[in-house]
Structure 1
Amino acid sequence: MRAPQPRPHHRPRTGRALLAGLLAAGTGLVGLVLAGSGTASAGTTAAPNVNVLANGDFSAGNHLSPWTCGPTVTAVNNSATGWDLQGSPAGTDYANCSQSVTVLPNSTYTLTAAVQGSYVFAGVTGTGGTDPSVWSSDSGWNNLTSTFTTGASTTSVSVWFHGWYGQAPFTVDKVSLVGPGTGTSPSPSGTVIVDPTPSNTSPKPTPTVSEGTTGPASPSPSASPTAPPRKHLLTGYWQDFYNGATPQRISDVPAAYDIIAVAFADATSTQGGISFTLDPTLSSKLGGYTEAQFKADIAAKRAAGKKVIVSVGGQNGTVSVSNSTAAANFADSAYGLIQQYGFDGIDIDLENGVNATYMSQALHSLAAKVGSGFVLTMAPETIGMQSTGGEYFKLALATKDILTIVNMQYYNSGAMLGCDGGVYSQGTENFLTGLACIQLQGGLRPDQVGLGVPASTSAAGGGYVSPSVVNNALDCLAAGTNCGSFKPSRTWPTIGGAMTWSTNWDATAGNQIANTVGSHLHAMP
């Protein structure tokens, strides 16, 4: 069903769907203080700048509400400094905390936090624009600070902070998010605190600024931080080979991509086994790209709240899981790659057949090994999701308890049946909405259904639609607006998102998917 495209060695071809969207943006919390200014719409009175974040100095003690924190986060009362928040990363727990904060659209806010400890991360997700993420590795007290502007329809964001795998406990204090608000501050002080020095004796040292846009190259953990998730995710496949699309390092992938699927893993001589190595041709095109740099880029993306997974399959993928032994080999080898490279999970893009029984067995075993934060996406061809009796649809339903998103490939398929029995041609909005409707009515949760589209006409043999059509289809499914001639009988406001093949082809086409579809997804309620 695909137009052949030249590929190096034995690697699978493109013309494929992008991965599912999970996940979401950063995790945890770093003591934050946000201060900022906003812009008012024409004809309105500008709202005053206030601290819109509650309990940022943790003076409520053991009552951390409205912060939502992991089990290894506590409030500690230091006799010299007063109440602080302390996180103690352990195993795959990064000591995460987050708080949902009401904000105004088209307004500027500044986040600041007094932090202490090696590898403390802080950020904001759901801004409707560029989500900030900063970090510090200073063992002394210092401030993290970052400024962002909300999107045209953004009314709430998630402020978060967390530590890092295998690192010592960290401390957070004096967190504020300052910008246009109702005129009153929910924090006990009601003012912006830039100096973390408490008002009691034995003050903390005057802080120094220590910030960055991405996390450190090390460590490389085996599980990613659990961040406050976005409601609608953009997934993009990253090509570990060169076929004419723009060669990229993982660090080159735009921040709009919430999930990055590394394509592809290779089959080994062991039944069900997979492996992964960077393609030397790609490395050459990039002027040298080492495994160490690749791992560091993955760690930095994860520190910024993104999910990076390894994709299995592709047009020429030959991985077969058809018995219990193969299922065990698949789970073991996939877990080895996740540990080796720091992936968050796996993408299943097997286009030459799948056995729902044994692949489900393998994926549940893998999920149990990885634990919290495991990401599972799928990118079936359209034919695989036409009926709940198909093996791919059965696999999706069998793994619904651990499934992040299914980004079906809405391309390279010609005309297909929609949920209303109508026949729709690829490359149209009706094709997107009519076929998504089958999955939505077939048992998947709305957040598990994404629209997989090619990034350009060069990325697939057929089925390309402009980013504006993708946005219209998302609006139709979520709110019943901007529909084509087919309009579903109901709406699914929590529709999962979109995926594209590939981030490389998107870069070649001017990053239209990242800029147009990504910004639209992140601004959706």
Structure 2
Amino acid sequence: MKILNIQLIKNPIGWYDLIVLFLLTALSQQLSASTALVKITEDIEVIVCTAPAWVSDQVYTKGDRVAYQGTEYEAFYWTQNQNPATNNSQWGPWIVIGPCGGVNTAPIVSITSPLSGTAFTVGNNVTINANASDTDGAVTTVEFLVDGTIIASDTSAPYSTIWTATEGNRMLTARATDNAGAVTLSTAVSISVSQDTGNQPPSVTITNPSSGSTFTIGQNVSIAAEANDVDGTVSKVEFYANGNLIGEDPSAPYTTNWTATQGSFTLTATAIDNDNANTTSNTVSITVSGGGGNCDADQYVEDGGYVAGSQVQNQGNIYECKPWPFTGWCNGSAAAYAPGTGTNWEDAWTFVGECGPDGNGEPTISITSPGSGQSFVEGSAIVINATASDSDGNVTKVEFFSNGNKVGEDTSSPYSFAINGLEIGNYSLTAKATDNDNLSTISSPVTIRVTSSGGGPDPLPARIMNGYWHNFQNGTGLIPLREVSPNWDVINVSFAVPKFSPADGEIGFELSSDFDAINYTEAAFRSDIQLLQSQGKKIIVSIGGQDGQVQLNSTSARDKFITSMIAIIEDYGFDGMDIDFEGQSLSFALGDTDFRNPTTPLIVNTIEAVRSVCNHFGNDFILTMAPETFFVQLGYTFYGGISPGADRRAGAYLPLIHALRDKLTFLQVQYYNSGFITALDNQGYIPGSGPDFYVSLVDMLLKGFPITGDSSKFFPALRQDQVLIGVPATVGAGGGHIGTQSVINSLDYLINGNSFGGQYQLSQTYPNLRGVMSWSINWDAFENLQFSNAVRTYLDGLGGRSTSVLETVEVPQKKSTIKMYPNPIKNELYLDVDLPGTSYTITIYNRVGTQVFKDKVSNTKKMPANTKIDLHHLQPGLYFYKIETNNQDFLGKIIKQ
């Protein structure tokens, strides 16, 4: 069908207009099948637009062209009901192509410098050059944009501007306009800008003795430190006890010896570099006592079956086996680990004291089981075992405590006690030994968790929504954890960050003081974690973020990362951790070319650190990673260890992902605040341009891809269930927002193959794609849950978030059932309740947790009860129900059509 769209400019219509209309009717027979727009002026000027006329309720995607009021426009991203004439500004969905008529050709424009992949330093003056031309007219203006924001314009060739670089991964584009108003946007150029911090201060860590070590008066204490300087040399390391200088060493290995005096001491080390910059180390606390008791500990033997807390004597001194992860070495080769004499004995043993005459020393005690981080099923008996001894007497009793409350005691060895009836939650267990002189010692705490299912957290749903929760105020408002929408399955508490410096390795976490404004306390936060966990939610801690860079350059930093992260996770009872390393956290040394066998210490140490934390907590531990595209998919074209001149960070997450794929629960690449990325079809895609960006980059992860196009360096595909799409919840949450419907369109194409008409074409679907990660829970709440409500409903429609809707449920001990039908429903829901003599209550909630129906049914008869529930008043959508009986509750979902 041929259509001629005519716009009459003159009004009222004159006789010559009628003649023109007659002529145009004949003309329409000769036009092509494409839509035409005819503009009639007083001079009877006829302009024909070959693009179809804009229709207000039609959906347009990037590249679609329309005609409106004599002008041709092109869609810059997904749009509907947005007038092209009033929505073609910098951030608008439409680009002006030019006047209708089929004669004007849009200009050509490209950035000639800098090149993609070039690295700059903050404050550099970056010269951006562009070529622009127009085949049928003249270029009137070239605008320069950084991350979509105009920074300058030039009206004459050669087109150029100078921009002062700011930190981050930046996307440069140029936009040319010709004399007819047509506009062309260039291909994007991705660059990186990092901080130039000048002289970097050295790093220093005390490696010996370990914090908590005890010594006796007059003992020779060897203090050792590890120090490095990334841009110079370490001139010397000074050693201090309680702030007093006790020694210094100008060359590695940095050590000093100190003759111990009685008291409690804090040891520190200060490294000074060749530019006189200095850094103070971590603190190590030690105790020096007046002397040990007699040597009634067993003589050390190789492979003696020692566990944490085991005490032995050797060469006239008493030693104690260190806690995990060093315990295994206590049973190692005598030449290496024999306490006091082996070459590496301090890795396994702590010096307790010298053997001597009987004194009045305190007893020693340690819990040998359960292990820290171990999980138990609610209601099971938890047996605590402890070892206790007294060098100058005997232990009279050992008391056991849970969260500081005494639960029992034992007066004879072996010391143990069984706790019953602990509710779901996290518990700190300690033991206290008392000797015959009434002196006592409390053991180091052991943290355990009690869960509702065997061995660890409940299985995760097949479809996941994972959101970041802000531990700080950033304009969206603060949300107590208990008020987080039930739409989210996994909650990333953001962020744990370095306590001292990026290279130190020790990570810290505490509730932000921003919460003081809403009177949200540390105790309430901890309670909320347990509350949400009891509801089946998983709470994990995210490390890093934009401002929390972590650089594990040394083994010392690696070990401090391991120790501190285990402590944080056990202290708060988190279900896992998220690696959100950004900025300079990960980068390659030149020549590190194989992601399967990385050689850069920073990469190797990070892999070892993350694996150690995962191993400590076992198979139920959740590990997620949220890298930017620069660190993952950019490896298809640039890899920092291979490509000279490229940013050393390009592709730097790939070795981490590959080495830990057996531990990885989800990879949730950030498809926002990103730059131009080349996909497997060798076409470039820009964030914010539509679903194509998400689909093409997910396809890379699920098919795998060759590094820098080299098939011998092929990065293997991840499992479908390991991948989440990382998207901004709202336009304010980050660059690259494409709207909730476009997120759903991306998912539907990837999972079900339902095309949205984009450029990127899938060769297969991924029905087990896990779901969505979003920055952030707070931004979503700020926009009244518009994002999470819609995406949650879509994912639930696929099934897999919870158990299927209750069809038949057996009630323990009664062999009775509850049958619910139909589902989906239209207006009426039926319940057949085979619970003679039992009353029950049914409550229905909408998807945001608001109660929409409640009814209590009393069944005193000795026969089944049948109930019809009228739900015609409910709008179509997803609902959740809860049936409460005398001895059990049942949960499920209902779909109303």
Q: TM-score, normalised by structure 2?
A: 0.35
Q: Which residue in the other structure is 2:534 paired with?
A: 303
| CA deviations over 1:228-260 (Å, ceiling 9, x no partner) | 321121110000000110210111111121111
Cα pair 2:467 2:491 within 8 Å, conserved: yes
Q: Which residue in the other structure is 2:654 paired with?
A: 393
Cα pair 1:334 1:366 within 8 Å, conserved: yes
Question: Which one-letter code corresponds to 2:695 in the other structure?
Answer: T
Cα pair 1:459 1:505 within 8 Å, conserved: yes
Determine the C-alpha separation between the residues in 2 that align with 1:350 and 1:417: 23
Cα pair 2:721 2:768 within 8 Å, conserved: yes
Between structure 1 and structure 2, the one with the greater Rg is 2
Determine the C-alpha separation between the residues in 2 that align with 1:276 and 1:409: 23
Question: Which one-letter code corresponds to 1:436 in the other structure?
Answer: V
1:459 aligns with 2:733: yes
Query: Which of 607, 613, 624 pairs up with 1:366?
Result: 613
1:168 aligns with 2:450: no
Query: Which of 443, 460, 480 pairs up with 2:753?
Result: 480
1:95 aligns with 2:377: yes
Secondary structure at the counterpart of residue 420 of structure 1: coil
Question: Which one-letter code corresponds to 1:376 in the other structure?
Answer: L
Secondary structure at the counterpart of residue 409 of structure 1: coil
Cα pair 2:492 2:542 within 8 Å, conserved: yes
Cα pair 1:385 1:439 within 8 Å, conserved: no
Secondary structure at the counterpart of residue 668 of structure 2: strand
Determine the C-alpha separation between the residues in 2 that align with 1:421 and 1:167: 62
| Residues 447 and 2 of structure 1: CA distance in aligned 2, closer, same or farther (over 3 Å) | farther
Cα pair 2:702 2:718 within 8 Å, conserved: yes
Secondary structure at the counterpart of residue 377 of structure 2: coil
| CA deviations over 1:8-40 (Å, ceiling 9, x no partner) | xxxxx9xxxxxxxxxxxxxxxxxxxxxxxxxxx
Determine the C-alpha separation between the residues in 2 that align with 1:2 and 1:232: 33
Question: Which one-letter code corresponds to 1:481 in the other structure?
Answer: N
| Residues 344 and 91 of structure 1: CA distance in aligned 2, closer, same or farther (over 3 Å) | closer
Question: Which one-letter code corresponds to 1:384 in the other structure?
Answer: F
1:379 aligns with 2:626: yes
Cα pair 2:427 2:448 within 8 Å, conserved: no
**Cα deviation, residue 415, structure 1:** 2.7
Q: Which residue in the other structure is 1:424 paired with?
A: 685
Determine the C-alpha separation between the residues in 2 that align with 1:293 and 1:341: 12
1:246 aligns with 2:477: yes
1:510 aligns with 2:784: yes
Query: Which of 789, 798, 810 pairs up with 1:524?
Result: 798
Question: Which one-letter code corresponds to 2:537 in the other structure?
Answer: K
- Structure 1 moving runs of 4+ over 3 Å: 90-96, 215-225
Cα pair 2:630 2:675 within 8 Å, conserved: no
Secondary structure at the counterpart of residue 356 of structure 1: helix
Determine the C-alpha separation between the residues in 2 that align with 1:508 and 1:333: 33
Q: Which residue in the other structure is 1:332 paired with?
A: 563
Aligned Cα root-mean-square deviation (Å): 3.0
Cα pair 1:237 1:502 within 8 Å, conserved: yes
Question: Which one-letter code corresponds to 1:480 in the other structure?
Answer: G
Q: Which residue in the other structure is 2:771 paired with?
A: 497
- Larger mean CA deviation between 322-331 and 307-316 belongs to 322-331
1:259 aligns with 2:506: no
Secondary structure at the counterpart of residue 336 of structure 1: helix
Query: Which of 696, 709, 713 pairs up with 1:434?
Result: 696
| Residues 313 and 2 of structure 1: CA distance in aligned 2, closer, same or farther (over 3 Å) | farther
Secondary structure at the counterpart of residue 458 of structure 1: coil
Cα pair 1:308 1:344 within 8 Å, conserved: yes
| Residues 437 and 459 of structure 1: CA distance in aligned 2, closer, same or farther (over 3 Å) | same
Q: Which residue in the other structure is 1:409 paired with?
A: 670
**Cα deviation, residue 219, structure 1:** 5.3
**Cα deviation, residue 91, structure 1:** 7.1
Secondary structure at the counterpart of residue 391 of structure 1: coil
Determine the C-alpha separation between the residues in 2 that align with 1:283 and 1:216: 28
Determine the C-alpha separation between the residues in 2 that align with 1:348 and 1:432: 21
Determine the C-alpha separation between the residues in 2 that align with 1:485 and 1:266: 40
Question: Which one-letter code corresponds to 2:673 in the other structure?
Answer: N
- Size of the aligned set, in residue pairs, is 331
Determine the C-alpha separation between the residues in 2 that align with 1:2 and 1:248: 30
Q: Which residue in the other structure is 2:521 paired with?
A: 290
Q: Which residue in the other structure is 2:581 paired with?
A: 350
Secondary structure at the counterpart of residue 408 of structure 1: coil
Question: Which one-letter code corresponds to 1:252 in the other structure?
Answer: E
Cα pair 1:500 1:513 within 8 Å, conserved: no
Question: Which one-letter code corresponds to 2:672 in the other structure?
Answer: Y
**Cα deviation, residue 167, structure 1:** 6.6
Cα pair 1:216 1:300 within 8 Å, conserved: no
- Larger mean CA deviation between 299-308 and 225-234 belongs to 225-234
Q: Percent same amino acid at aligned positions?
A: 35
Cα pair 1:233 1:497 within 8 Å, conserved: yes
Question: Which one-letter code corresponds to 1:472 in the other structure?
Answer: N
Q: Which residue in the other structure is 1:281 paired with?
A: 514
Q: Which residue in the other structure is 1:199 paired with?
A: none
Q: Which residue in the other structure is 2:505 paired with?
A: 272
Relative contact order: is structure 1 or structure 2 higher (C-alpha 8 Å, sep ≥ 6)?
A: 1
Q: Which residue in the other structure is 2:100 paired with?
A: none
Q: Which residue in the other structure is 1:109 paired with?
A: none
**Cα deviation, residue 302, structure 1:** 1.1
Question: Which one-letter code corresponds to 2:480 in the other structure?
Answer: R
Determine the C-alpha separation between the residues in 2 that align with 1:363 and 1:218: 23
Question: Which one-letter code corresponds to 1:396 in the other structure?
Answer: I
**Cα deviation, residue 2, structure 1:** 8.4
Secondary structure at the counterpart of residue 430 of structure 1: helix
Question: Which one-letter code corresponds to 1:466 in the other structure?
Answer: G
Specify every segment of 5 or more residues in structure 2 that has no aligned partner in the other structure, as ranges: 1-145, 149-167, 169-371, 382-417, 429-446, 587-601, 640-650, 705-716, 800-897
Cα pair 1:480 1:487 within 8 Å, conserved: no
Determine the C-alpha separation between the residues in 2 that align with 1:433 and 1:366: 33
Determine the C-alpha separation between the residues in 1 that align with 2:579 and 2:147: 18
Cα pair 1:356 1:398 within 8 Å, conserved: no
Determine the C-alpha separation between the residues in 2 that align with 1:328 and 1:450: 30
Q: Which has the higher helix share?
A: 1
Question: Which one-letter code corresponds to 1:450 in the other structure?
Answer: L
Determine the C-alpha separation between the residues in 2 that align with 1:279 and 1:93: 29
Question: Which one-letter code corresponds to 1:235 in the other structure?
Answer: N
Determine the C-alpha separation between the residues in 2 that align with 1:451 and 1:403: 15
| Residues 486 and 331 of structure 1: CA distance in aligned 2, closer, same or farther (over 3 Å) | same
Question: Which one-letter code corresponds to 1:468 in the other structure?
Answer: Q
Secondary structure at the counterpart of residue 227 of structure 1: coil
Query: Which of 314, 317, 322 pairs up with 2:548?
Result: 317
1:236 aligns with 2:467: yes
Determine the C-alpha separation between the residues in 1 that align with 2:498 and 2:615: 22
**Cα deviation, residue 330, structure 1:** 0.9
Determine the C-alpha separation between the residues in 2 that align with 1:440 and 1:364: 23
Determine the C-alpha separation between the residues in 2 that align with 1:488 and 1:167: 56
Determine the C-alpha separation between the residues in 1 that align with 2:738 and 2:795: 16
Determine the C-alpha separation between the residues in 2 that align with 1:517 and 1:167: 44
**Cα deviation, residue 117, structure 1:** 9.1
Determine the C-alpha separation between the residues in 1 that align with 2:561 and 2:684: 38
Q: Which has the higher strand share?
A: 2
